[in-house]
Amino acid sequence: MFKSLQKHYYKKDAINVFVVSKANLQQYNTYSNSEIEIMENETNPDIIFAASGDYSLIEILEAKKILNKELPEIKIKIVYVTNISILKSRLSEKEFEMYFNKNVPVIYNFHGYKSTIKNLLFERKRNFKILGYIDKGDICASSEGKKIVNETYRYNIVIESLEILIKNNKNNNSKNEELKKIYNRKINDFLKKGII
């Protein structure tokens, strides 16, 4: 973090926003790859998970674990973006394709408002499903509860993935439908317990 602060402290005519957590979380990248990185690569992925923010990243990693267990044949690529401004124009189309393969659906889990990422990706011709803050939940709700009602929790990501797989007719659609029901029930159970 200090390296990053040092780098941006001397920039002129720029607005730098640093988002940090008070929680003791694992660090997923280093200064040398501090803007965008492929964390887990697949040659021909069925779906791409992307995230900005520690909690968003944790949720896509957990969603991938669930899908690997339930549907081991599905290939998922993970991209972590720490400098979202890189999405707009700093990457050439060829560089952008290195991270976000053409014709592969992307689920982007964001720790802020969805419109922020939508605006940055406006001119990019890709199939992005953006999950992010949608002004739901109570400030006193649990962390899990906030993620569930804002649809950024691991089960929400699993459900979105299953919908994409069903739409694209990937693997066994009846199994995908059954899994979708299971994870919708899990979310409903959270809601019934009142953890929100």
Q: Please report the pLDDT score of residue 163 as a whole number.
A: 93
In a domain, 22, yes or no: no
pLDDT-based confidence at 8, cuts 50/70/90?
low
Residue type (1 letter), 169: N
pLDDT-based confidence at 196, cuts 50/70/90?
low
CA gap 77, 43 in Å, rounded = 9
User: Is the pLDDT reported for residue 34 higher than 80?
Assistant: no
pLDDT-based confidence at 16, cuts 50/70/90?
confident
Read off the pLDDT of residues 107-154 as tens digits, 9 standing for 90 and up. Answer: 999 999 999 999 999 888 788 999 998 877 666 677 777 888 888 999
In a domain, 56, yes or no: yes
Q: Please report the pLDDT score of residue 71 as a whole number.
A: 94
Read off the pLDDT of residues 72-101 as tens digits, 9 standing for 90 and up. Answer: 999 999 999 988 989 988 899 899 999 999
CA gap 102, 93 in Å, rounded = 10
In a domain, 55, yes or no: yes
In a domain, 40, yes or no: yes
In a domain, 8, yes or no: no
Q: Do 77 and 42 meet the contact criterion of CB atoms below 8 Å apart?
A: yes
Residue 163's CATH number: 3.40.50.920
In a domain, 11, yes or no: no
CA gap 49, 13 in Å, rounded = 33
In a domain, 17, yes or no: no
Structural domain span for residue 148: 27-193
Q: What is the pTM of this model?
A: 0.82
Domain count, the chain: 1
Q: Is pLDDT larger for residue 43 or for residue 19?
A: 43
Q: Please report the pLDDT score of residue 172 as a whole number.
A: 75
In a domain, 179, yes or no: yes
What are the angstrom distances between the C-alpha of 153 and each of 17, 62, 128, 148? Answer: 24, 9, 17, 5
